[in-house]
């Protein structure tokens, strides 16, 4: 698929990430606007019938239909591709649309994939419930151990699919080791990088083939819109992913693309400040609760691995209380500043109880296999003063008997 942003990739790919985040992919109309324009249109007009035929044949650069191309959406796709270090990107209506398309566009009946046990609840539903309907099998493994990927490989294994850090247990996958295992065997890797974003971690630098996002999270970063993205080679995006998305229609709206473009401009600033805030909050919680699952803390068993492939560990982590769901809910109900919300990546501090929200659709035995206990709480640390977040947690912990 031909692109229309007008920028020279040989120039923009050499910009530093901070510059790419502000200017990457920008295309200006004849009005010369400085902020990206929102093109709210479903269709496009042609000067003649021949132009229409040439565009549909791919012989003329131009738009045909906003399910396939939109100027605002293409600006976002180019910006994310630049930040990721990918040849191409395709955006979608939601993060789960991106995950679903990234898998289904390259899997067929009789194929097999290997998935990390710790994953967002809807991602586990994809592999546990949806893919088996089409004769696609999944082996669930502890992705923290690269050997388990090797042991799970079959002759028909097509994909490794995992999150790092994983939601909500914060399991870290050794990207270099696992991607190397996959490449040696002709298997593709699909990495969910939503918690880190390319501002903190670029899986393709460690050998990943495909990187998928819920751009709803840190890329928007202010809890406003839904969006998803998939990055990969131009061949994969255009020859495998695009035919799937053009015919199934998980299209990102131009308005939502524009909002995410604006969010990405401040992504690096936000995620680094929130990472600093989360580290301070995590240190406080270490002394107050039985377990804190945060690779940014030196005491975490995967701290060194996380720091070897991430620039910082992000604003999201989980912790556990011994009193199960009752105590976890009591803590949530005692919060004053922090919102009870199942979203993450927001500039506001948010907390949820995964077992009764994000992972409630996963059977109890599978939740426990994933490490999602009844006493687990997931915290997104925002841009508020971390001392205010700590004060709110302190009074809530005391109210919950901790």
pLDDT at 4: 60
pLDDT at 307: 97
pLDDT at 58: 87
pLDDT at 331: 98
Beginning with the edge strand found earlier in the chain, give each strand of the sheet holding 339-340 in spatial order: 291-293, 316-320, 376-380, 350-352, 339-340
Question: pLDDT tens digits for 164-215?
Answer: 999 999 999 999 999 999 999 999 999 999 999 999 999 999 999 999 999 9
**CB burial readout 171-197, b (16+ within 10 A) else e:** bbbbbbbbbebbeeeebbbbbbbbbbb
Distance of CA 141 to the CA centre of its chain: 20
Nearest to 12 by CA among 33, 26, 32: 26
**pTM flag (> 0.85):** yes
Dist CA 294 CA 301 (whole Å): 10
Question: pLDDT tens digits for 120-157?
Answer: 889 999 999 999 999 999 999 999 999 999 999 999 99
SS3 label, residue 125 = helix
- List C-alpha distances in Å: 65 to 41, 52, 98, 194: 9, 11, 20, 29
User: How many CB atoms lie under 10 A from the CB of residue 128?
Assistant: 18
Stretches where the chain sits below pLDDT 70 are 1-6
């Amino acid at each position: 698929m031909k692109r229309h942003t007008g920028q020279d990739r040989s120039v923009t790919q050499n910009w530093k990430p901070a510059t790419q985040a502000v200017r990457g992919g920008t295309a200006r109309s004849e009005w010369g606007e400085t902020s990206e324009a929102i093109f709210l249109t479903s269709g496009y007009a042609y000067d003649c019938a021949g132009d229409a035929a040439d565009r549909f044949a791919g012989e003329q650069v131009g738009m045909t239909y906003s399910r396939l191309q939109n100027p605002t959406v293409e600006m976002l796709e180019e910006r994310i591709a630049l930040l990721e270090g990918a040849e191409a990107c395709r955006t979608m209506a939601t993060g789960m649309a991106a995950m679903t398309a990234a898998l289904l566009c390259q899997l067929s009946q009789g194929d097999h994939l290997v998935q990390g046990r710790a994953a967002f609840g809807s991602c586990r539903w994809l592999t546990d419930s949806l893919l088996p309907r089409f004769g696609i099998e999944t082996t669930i493994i502890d992705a923290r151990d690269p050997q388990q990927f090797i042991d799970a490989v079959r002759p028909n294994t097509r994909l490794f699919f995992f999150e790092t850090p994983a939601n909500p247990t914060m399991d870290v996958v050794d990207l270099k080791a696992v991607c190397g295992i996959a490449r040696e065997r002709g298997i593709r890797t699909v990495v969910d990088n939503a918690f880190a974003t390319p501002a903190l971690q670029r899986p393709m630098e460690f050998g990943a083939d495909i990187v998928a996002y819920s751009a709803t999270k840190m890329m928007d970063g202010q809890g406003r819109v839904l969006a998803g993205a998939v990055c990969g080679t131009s061949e994969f995006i255009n020859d495998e992913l695009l035919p799937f998305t053009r015919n199934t229609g998980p299209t990102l709206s131009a308005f939502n693309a524009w909002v995410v473009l604006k969010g990405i401009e401040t992504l690096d600033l936000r995620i680094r400040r929130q990472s600093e805030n989360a580290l301070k909050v995590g240190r406080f919680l270490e002394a107050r609760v039985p377990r804190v699952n945060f690779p940014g803390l030196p005491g975490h068993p995967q701290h060194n691995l996380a720091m070897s492939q991430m620039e910082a560990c992000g604003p999201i982590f989980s912790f556990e209380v011994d009193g199960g769901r009752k105590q976890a809910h009591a803590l949530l109900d005692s919060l004053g500043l922090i919102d009870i919300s199942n979203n993450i990546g927001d500039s506001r501090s948010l907390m949820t109880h995964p077992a009764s929200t994000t992972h409630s659709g996963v059977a109890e035995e599978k939740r426990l296999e994933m490490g999602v206990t009844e006493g687990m709480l997931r915290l997104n640390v925002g841009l508020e003063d971390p001392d205010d977040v700590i004060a709110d947690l302190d009074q809530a912990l005391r109210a919950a008997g901790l």
